[in-house]
A = this chain, B = another copy of it.
């Protein structure tokens, strides 16, 4: 009984997801399909890739079908990848790579052919789901298409995260979840390296993206000089606690913690941190220990 995970931006109001389920089950009636999400904002490959990589580790070994594909019908390649821990199928736009690496790295890859006469707007149903079904049914990867060099696969930019020499952690917002929790691109160990462990209190501020990598703390003259970034258009500044879970702080308060995906994150207990902070994915934040910045 093979598992096929399935992630798209198709939404849940049309029959698109079901059509793909149907295509898979017509080929492999015993396949188990796990819907990861179909509510990726239209065309948001970055969010889709982030959700995928943070979910595959919990899924049974199998085939991972992901289709967020603004370039459907163009020359962008349709691909199937084999990793040590599973297969992946989707467009060659960076969506699959991080998950493939989480599953052990790409060992082989093929370009999926698009049969003549295939409608140009629904490769999920007509190209990707059939390929995923073939893999779920035991067809060899090599039988699905012409081999391609994994080094040529499209990659997304690496999100910004770094610990500055002055001890300030900079990271962009990677993802805002259903609860409004704000996941940063900084992995937990980077937070620890910055000395940001409970029960520290920290100062958080937003760096205007155009200001580049060297946003200084407000009033942080030494830091600014070290980085030569004294003119950073720093905006909001907030103080908050480092904790281990939402309830480490009082209702309505902000907390910095390492989330269940192992990433630094900001939450408001019983609230919505993204709204409270007015931040969105790709916004850049800076964090330092209170006392380290004066």
A74–B15 touching, CB < 8 Å: no
A72–B245 touching, CB < 8 Å: yes
A37 in contact with B59 given A25-B3, A73-B247, A259-B121 (CB within 8 Å): no
Interchain Cβ contacts under 8 Å between A and B, 12 examples: A10-B178, A13-B39, A14-B51, A42-B270, A43-B270, A70-B270, A72-B247, A73-B246, A73-B247, A121-B246, A121-B257, A122-B260
Interface residues of A in 238-269 (CB under 8 A from B): 244-248, 257-260, 262, 269
List 12 other contacts, CB 8 Å, given A1-B29, A13-B177, A15-B37. Answer: A7-B15, A15-B55, A18-B36, A18-B59, A19-B55, A19-B58, A22-B58, A22-B60, A26-B58, A29-B60, A119-B259, A121-B257
Q: Is the interface of A mostly helix, strand, loop or mixed?
A: loop
A18–B259 touching, CB < 8 Å: no
Q: Is A30 an interface residue (CB 8 A)?
A: yes
Q: Is A214 an interface residue (CB 8 A)?
A: no
B23–A58 touching, CB < 8 Å: yes
Q: Is A160 an interface residue (CB 8 A)?
A: no
Complex Cα spacing A269 to B121, Å: 12
Q: Is A143 an interface residue (CB 8 A)?
A: no
Task: Give A220-233 as 1s and 0s: 1 = Cβ < 8 Å from B's Cβ atoms.
Answer: 00000000000000
Residues of B near A121 (CB, < 8 A) are 245-246, 257, 259-260
Complex Cα spacing A10 to B177, Å: 9
Interface centre among A15, A32, A36, A120 (most CB of B within 10 A): A15
Q: Is A154 an interface residue (CB 8 A)?
A: no
Residues of B near A73 (CB, < 8 A) are 244-248
Q: Is A34 an interface residue (CB 8 A)?
A: yes
Q: Is A104 an interface residue (CB 8 A)?
A: no
Complex Cα spacing A52 to B39, Å: 20
Task: Give A44-86 as 1s and 0s: 1 = Cβ < 8 Å from B's Cβ atoms.
Answer: 0000000110110011100000000011111000000000000
Residues of B near A292 (CB, < 8 A) are none
Q: Is A203 an interface residue (CB 8 A)?
A: no
Residues of B near A32 (CB, < 8 A) are 25, 29
Interface residues of A in 2-18 (CB under 8 A from B): 3, 5, 7, 10-16, 18
B13–A178 touching, CB < 8 Å: yes
B37–A70 touching, CB < 8 Å: no
